Structure 1
Amino acid sequence: MTTLGTATAAPGEQATGRLTVGEARDGSEVALPVCVINGERDGKTLYVQAVSDGDELNGLGVVQRLVPRLDPADIAGEILIVGIVNWYGFQVAEHRNPIDDTKTNRAYPGNETGTTSERIAHATFSAGVGADLAVDLHQGSTSQMINEVRVRCGRRHRLHRECLDLAKTFDCGHILDQRGPSGQLARALPDEGVPTIDPELGGAVGWDEESIRYGVRGMMNVLTDYGFLDGTVAESKQTRASGFDQYGSPAGGLVDLHPELGDEVARGDTLFEITDVFGSVKESVTADSSGIFWRARRLPQVAQGEYVCSVGTGVDSY
């Protein structure tokens, strides 16, 4: 039998249920939606979660499309899924948990008796720590961003190669290979011996069909390449970046971006211009380094000093 929260499945079965993580302000139970898929054959255990940032819905779209495609009769091993991690943020469509003003993906490995976010982190971390590999589905929040996968353990970590290979298998075409901030699941689980990746499935507000398709394909790649499903996955080269150059606006006005997301840029190329409301150019900003145009703000209006875009740097092929 395989159990996660109230979901219990025997070999060859699938079950859904809830994982209790605390109580709301009215004393009602707060419980995350979970799914267990227990394959008919023995194999590895995969842990998957989505919406640890409450307004990042593309990962939930992946879960919604993926689960109906999976027949336990075809699967070797076990798949544990938490469909919505940041329950509080999801209810009000906010990035952070509004109860404790915390970004849930900075609270791992969590604390069983801590804040609401720490309790959620503890419960979901405990679900993932016994797995053989893990995928934490994200998106670029309110910014526009290429589809990419993040390896957050750091290049000196003992599981770096395993995490990098997992990211390559997921195959969004782009990998950010940069040690992440403390408290991220993709940093905490590798310390417990679980290779973990953080796919960032596009960006901007809403439910992006193209990015969801990338995510479903990526999950099917992982399930196939790691033996949960029969078949083979064609290996493809990935564009890898080791960091970002971030650019703010030197003036207030409207942003006119020059490259498209995913374009190569060279040092000195114009990244954007700032115009006034009548179209006159006030400032022009060029790239400090060569790289890939990775991320940009969604709306054109910008204050002086406000974030505009990022260029992925230290680019190579993996």
Structure 2
Amino acid sequence: MTTFGTAEAAPGETATGRLEVGETRDGAAFGLPVAVINGAEDGKTLYVQAVSDGDELNGVGVLRRVVPRLDPAEISGTILVTAIVNYHAFQVARHRNPIDDTKMNRAYPGDAEGTSSERIAHATFEAASRADLIVDLHQGSTSRMIDEVRVRCGRRHRLHEECLELAKVFGAGYVLDQKGPDGQLARAGPDEGVPTIDPELGGSVGWDEASVQTGVDGLYNVLAHYGFLPGDANYGDQTRAAGFDQYGAPRGGLVEFAADLGDRVQSGDPLFEVTTPFGERKAEVTAEENGILWRSRRLPQVATGEYVCSIGVDVDTY
């Protein structure tokens, strides 16, 4: 029998339940929606979670498609799932937990006696750290971004190669291989000896069908490659960036881009211009070095110094 919160599944069974992590402001207990898919045969354990940030919904869009299709009779090993991590932020469609104004993916490994976010992080990390692999489904908030996977442990970490392999197997096409901030699950997992990736499934308001499908395909790749399901994973070489150049608006006005997401740009190429409401050019911004247009703001209006876009730099293929 495998237990995760109130979900209990014997070999060959699937169960859903709740992982209780505290009480709401009216004193009622609340829990995160969790699932256990306990394979009929022994094997590895995979932990998957989504909605660490309350407005990033593509991950739960993936899980609602994948989990119902998984037949535990065909699975070797166990899959543990938390469908919505940032419960309070999800309820109000906000990025950060409104109870403590915290970005959940800066709270790992958490604290059982800490803030709301730290308690949720602690409870989910207990499950994640008993797995063999961790997939933490994200997206680029509500901005525009390519589908990519982040390896956040750093290139000197003892599990870097294992995390990089997991990122390649997921097969989103692009990988950001850059050490992340303290408190990220993709940092805390490898420190506990568990290869961990942070797929960033595009960026959208609500969910984006194409990015959701990238996540569905990625999870099935992981399940096949690591022996949870029979069959072969379908992925190829990945385009990897080692970091970002971020660009802000030199003038206020309306932004018009000269390149599309995923386009390769050369140093000196136009990236965007800022105009007045009458189309009069106020400024043009060009790339400072070679790279890929990785992420951009969604709304055209900007104030002086406001974020506009990011270029993935130090690009290679692996």
Same-fold call, TM cutoff 0.5: yes
Could you state the TM-score of these two structures normalised by the residue count of structure 2?
0.99
After superposition, residues 112-191 of structure 1 pair within 5 angstroms as 112-191=112-191
In 2, distance between residues paired with 1:69 and 1:261?
32
Counterpart position of 2:290: 290
Deviation digits for residues 165-202 of structure 1 (CA, Å, limit 9, x no counterpart): 00000000000000000000000010000000000000
TM-superposed deviation, 1:68: 1.0
1:315, 1:61 → 2: CA distance? 30
Q: Give the Cα–Cα distance (whole angstroms) in 1 for the partners of residues 68 and 30 of structure 2.
A: 25
Structure 2 gaps of 5+ residues are none
Q: Distance in 2 between matches of 1:169 and 1:73?
A: 24
Alpha-carbon distance in structure 1 between the residues aligned to 2:247 and 2:149: 22
Instruction: Note if contact 2:110-2:117 (Cα within 8 Å) is conserved in structure 1.
Output: yes
Unaligned residue ranges in structure 1 (runs of 5+)? none
Q: Is the 8 A contact 2:171 2:236 kept in 1?
A: yes
- Corresponding position of 1:261: 261
Structure 2: distance between partners of 1:161 and 1:30? 38
How far apart are 1:17 and its partner, in Å? 0.1
Amino acid at match of 2:21: V
The match for 1:307 is: 307
TM superposition outliers: structure 1 runs of 4+ over 4 Å: none
Q: Aligned ranges for residues 26-175 of structure 1 at < 5 Å? A: 26-175=26-175
Q: Percent identical across equivalent pairs?
A: 70
2:276 matched residue in structure 1? 276
Given residue 83 of structure 1, which amino acid in structure 2 is its aligned partner? Answer: A
- Measured in 2, the distance between the counterparts of 1:174 and 1:58 equals 17
Q: 1:206 to 1:235 in 2, by over 3 A?
A: closer
Q: Distance in 1 between matches of 2:115 and 2:131?
A: 25
For residues 124-169 of structure 1, what are the alpha-carbon distances to aligned partners after superposition, in whole Å with 9 as ceiling and x for unaligned?
0001001000000000001100000000000000000000000000
State the distance in 2 between where 1:30 and 1:122 align. 15
- DSSP-derived class of the 2:259 partner: coil
Contact 2:170 2:235 in 1 (8 A): no
The 1-side partners of 2:49 and 2:28 are apart by 23
1:89-124 per-residue CA deviation (whole Å, 9 max, x = no partner) reads: 000000000000000000000000000000000000
Displacement after TM superposition at 1:278 (Å):
0.2
Between the aligned partners of 1:144 and 1:176, the Cα distance in structure 2 is 16
Q: Distance in 1 between matches of 2:256 and 2:43?
A: 51
Three-state SS of the structure 2 residue aligned to 1:189 is helix
In structure 2, distance between residues paired with 1:28 and 1:235: 45
Partner AA of 1:142 in structure 2: T
| Paired AA for residue 80 in structure 2 | L
1:9 equivalent in structure 2: 9
TM-score under structure 1 length normalisation: 0.99
Letter in 2 for 1:101: D
What is the CA deviation profile of residues 223-262 of structure 1, one whole-angstrom value per residue up to 9, with x for unaligned ones?
Answer: 0000000011244110000000000000000000111100
CA–CA distance in structure 2, aligned partners of residues 65 and 94 of structure 1 = 23
Aligned equivalents of 2:206, 2:63: Cα separation in 1: 16
> Aligned partners of 1:271, 1:204: CA distance in 2, in Å?
21
